[in-house]
Amino acid sequence: MNIALEIAASGRGAVEPNPMVGAVIARGDLELGRGYHERFGGPHAEVNAIAAARRNGVDITGATMYVTLEPCSHQGKTPPCTDAIIAAGIARVVLAMVDPDEQVSGGGIETLRRAGVQVDVGVRGRQAEHLLRAYCKLRKTKRPWVICKWAQTSDGYLALAPGCGRWVSCPESRRRVHEIRSWCDGVLVGISTVLADDPLLTDRSGRPRDRGPLTRIVLDSHLRLPADSQLIATAAETPVIVATITGAEMRAAGALSAAGAELLELPACDAGVDIAALLDELGRRQYTNLLVEGGARVLSNFIESGLADELLVFVSPQTAGRQAASQALPALDIAKLAGRFSLPDATETRVGSDTLLNYFL
């Protein structure tokens, strides 16, 4: 099962909104074949593992299949995996977890057992649930997994003083961010970030995105997004959603729509656009992972409203210095947040000269 979990992760960013799944066929300690779900709409892990065993020229009749998620028993983009398992003569299936998808949810297990296949459930279940946390959330709550990401100085600022350079984080951290973007469906910022930085917000990881480009989302209650911004200039090639409030001043709407941006009207709340309503809409569109990149107010709104699932904080050894407060540099210090909220322990990773803190809320 450890091998199955490891290879399942290879599908991250390619299979969503489907789950990452890995499968290994074995007889005793001898591995006969392995496979994982490689791309959305393609063969599932179980079918790929059976095909690999056949390419290896081995007989899998009576063998055991270890699979990280309950096999599907319904016709979707591919035939039911339970049919392939039964036809291959697999005698036993060991599962990490039951599929929370209402189309499966125990149906695959029942189908296999009716066919005389022994099914055992719960091996490495916690690890599988962690791997599939975004998939499980989408299936259970109809909302995407929300990752709040920022880079801060060691003294808690999101920018450096004028003349001290543009980047808070190191080049290795910036490359890591593009890797993260590569397996997300959308990246979100507030209008203040766009007005201050004019970001492009594209995925420049170099990884293929067969399921479509990363969608850029801007929270913009009063439609202040400049028509000459980089986001609008590239909207025809890479999607842009402008999330605004119902009944907002719409004079700019025509120009933004004509440039290729989608105007999404949502209810208003005290903080502007109702981000809970936005998450509901993105869930309806089958977004699995949403990356929230800023600015400080937007990030704080997600965290304080309990809508963030994960924090990724790149802490630089640089400091903003004594002038930071007087120059009104944006601030969001993870140390102060930890003092206000009961944050779980973070996983610490060294990324170049930075420290990456990863919290699961």
Q: Which residues are catalytic?
A: 46
Q: How far is CA 291 from the centre of its chain?
A: 7
Q: How far is residue 5's CA from residue 160's CA, in Å, rounded to a whole number?
A: 41
- Crossing angle of helices 81-88 and 107-114, rounded to 10°: 20
Beta carbons of 26 and 33 less than 8 angstroms apart = no
Asked if the peptide bond before residue 295 counts as cis, ω within 30 degrees of 0, the response is yes
Beta bridge partners of 178: none
Beta bridge partners of 95: 67, 121
**Both structure tokens of 358:** 């990863």
Beta carbons of 176 and 184 less than 8 angstroms apart = no
Beta carbons of 170 and 354 less than 8 angstroms apart = yes
